[in-house]
Amino acid sequence: MKQAIPVVTPEMITPGWMTQALASHGLDARVEGITMQSVGTGQLGETRRFQLSYAGTPPADAPTSLVGKFPSADAVSAQTGRDLGIYRTEVMFYRELAMRTQIRTPKVYVAEIDEADRFALLFEDLAPARQGDQMHGCTLDEARQVLREGALLHSAFWDDQELLKNAWVRVPEGSQDFYSTDLIERSWHHVRQHYTGLLSAEVQQVCDRYVRHHAWWNRPRERPKCFSHNDFRQDNMMFGGADGRVAVVDWQTASFLGAGMDVAYFLGGAFDRQTRRQHEQGLLREYHEALMSHGVRDYGFDRLLRDYAHYSFAVIAVGLAATLIVKRTERGDRMLMQMVTGGAQQAIDNRALDDFPA
């Protein structure tokens, strides 16, 4: 039986700990020195890059650098991660599901979590891939790559009832996990007090109506369901890697959810409004064709369009709620309000508000 790797904070990682982590994957290499630097912009976790040096000549496949992820150093964010179960979700995804889908994710060396939901994840370093930037969007070709990866994930667990046997898999009762109507109402009140200078009048009108009808919007949806990332945006993707594929990271909020969530969440923030309008239908066609090519049946394009319109509001919920539950930063403020704006414009352009009660 493989020996568990101790759960530690970044500052506690030693050459001995790293040597044990590599040995657990069959690498006979003794780490002699480590240098550490902060990477990423995550608000619910701490990410570090570790540069490794070895005693003697290591095996050819011994990594020269690895990336680790740990609970947030911010007390509020760390408590959020524990209370919502998102730390455990990410660790268990890498331990039990990542290998069952062809979506590109980083190779994992350590995926450990204790009873208090302290955790340590250690991945391959995907450099020279670069982290996407939600504030700058992506190219049309990059969007196509992302949606191809999304189709690999969603088709792998399409309406898969066996998934429910995994006790850690979250199966939301409604359209979206985590965000209760009370939280959405409180966060919208908070945003109106502190953020509305970053939102147009048009966007505020959409938010007002969405928040009033949030309980109705968040009602249970009919099948099909699929395993969804649920924070499927550029900040959680690595572009331009050596294998030419987009790698998807940050699986904290993943769950077994109604179809259409990830594609709507991604396209709402991938482009400026004009570009999205111009290419939206074509990209959705390509995504739908990819689902079909991977074995999905009885899911017509018209149904995808309905699901897509419904989930244009999901990013609004995330953007609003995050103002209350994660640490505040200048970039975070701009990014969250950009997400809210993109979702509101997407909802308008796809006539998603037409389905709302009067």
What's the mean pLDDT when you consider all of the chain? Answer: 94
Residue 4 lies in a domain: no
Do 234 and 187 belong to one domain?
Answer: yes
Cβ-in-10-Å burial (0-12, 13-18, 19+) of 209 comes to middle
Do 54 and 154 belong to one domain?
Answer: no
Return the pLDDT at 188. Answer: 98
Given a cut of 90, whether residue 341 has pLDDT beyond it is: yes
Query: Distance between CA atoms of 65 and 60, rounded to whole angstroms?
Result: 13
In the three-class reduction of DSSP (H, G, I as helix; E, B as strand; rest coil), residue 250 is classed as: coil
Return the pLDDT at 138. Answer: 94
Distance of CA 77 to the CA centre of its chain: 16
Structural domain ending residue among the three candidates 98, 124, 150: 124
Return the pLDDT at 124. Answer: 95
Given a cut of 90, whether residue 348 has pLDDT beyond it is: yes
330 or 15, which is more confident: 15
Residue 2 lies in a domain: no
DSSP category for residue 95: I
Given a cut of 50, whether residue 51 has pLDDT beyond it is: yes
In the three-class reduction of DSSP (H, G, I as helix; E, B as strand; rest coil), residue 156 is classed as: helix
Residues 252, 117: contact at Cβ < 8 Å?
no
| Torsions phi, psi for 130 (to 5 deg) | -115, 145
Domain that holds residue 85: 10-124
Query: Distance between CA atoms of 341 and 319, rounded to whole angstroms?
Result: 9
Residue 284 lies in a domain: yes
Do 276 and 303 belong to one domain?
Answer: yes
Structural domain ending residue among the three candidates 102, 124, 146: 124
Question: In sequence order, what E strands does 93-235 have?
Answer: 108-113, 119-124, 130-131, 225-228
Single out the residue of 151, 167, 156 nearest to residue 100, CA to CA: 156
Q: How many domains does the chain have?
A: 2
Given a cut of 60, whether residue 70 has pLDDT beyond it is: yes
Return the pLDDT at 315. Answer: 96
Residue 148 lies in a domain: yes
Sequential DSSP letters for 139-150: -HHHHHHHHHHH
Return the pLDDT at 41. Answer: 59
Return the pLDDT at 3. Answer: 64
State pLDDT tens for residues 2-49: 568 999 999 999 999 999 999 999 999 999 999 999 986 566 789 999
Single out the residue of 248, 235, 240 nearest to residue 106, CA to CA: 248
Q: In which band, very low, low, confident or very high, does the pLDDT at 183 lie, cut at 50, 70 and 90?
A: very high
State pLDDT tens for residues 100-124: 999 999 999 999 999 999 999 999 9
Do 134 and 20 belong to one domain?
Answer: no
Return the pLDDT at 325. Answer: 79
Residue 3 lies in a domain: no
Q: Which pTM was predicted?
A: 0.92
Structural domain ending residue among the three candidates 92, 124, 156: 124
Do 183 and 103 belong to one domain?
Answer: no
Do 212 and 305 belong to one domain?
Answer: yes
Task: State both tokens at 298.
Answer: 């009885």
Residues 49, 126: contact at Cβ < 8 Å?
no
Q: What mean pLDDT comes out for the span 222-232?
A: 94
H, E, C per residue of 192-224: HHHCHHHCCHHHHHHHHHHHHCHHHHCCCCCCC
Do 120 and 139 belong to one domain?
Answer: no
Do 145 and 118 belong to one domain?
Answer: no
Return the pLDDT at 2. Answer: 57
Beta bridge partners of 68: 48, 122
Return the pLDDT at 230. Answer: 97
Query: In sequence order, what are the residues at sequence separation of 6 or more whose Cβ sits closer than 8 angstroms to the Cβ of residue 81?
Result: 44, 45, 71, 72, 87, 117, 252
Residue 161 lies in a domain: yes
Return the pLDDT at 1. Answer: 41
Place of tokens 């309905």: 306
Residue 235, domain CATH: 3.90.1200
Do 167 and 314 belong to one domain?
Answer: yes
Q: In which band, very low, low, confident or very high, does the pLDDT at 75 lie, cut at 50, 70 and 90?
A: confident
Residue 53 lies in a domain: yes
Do 56 and 189 belong to one domain?
Answer: no
Q: In which band, very low, low, confident or very high, does the pLDDT at 286 lie, cut at 50, 70 and 90?
A: very high
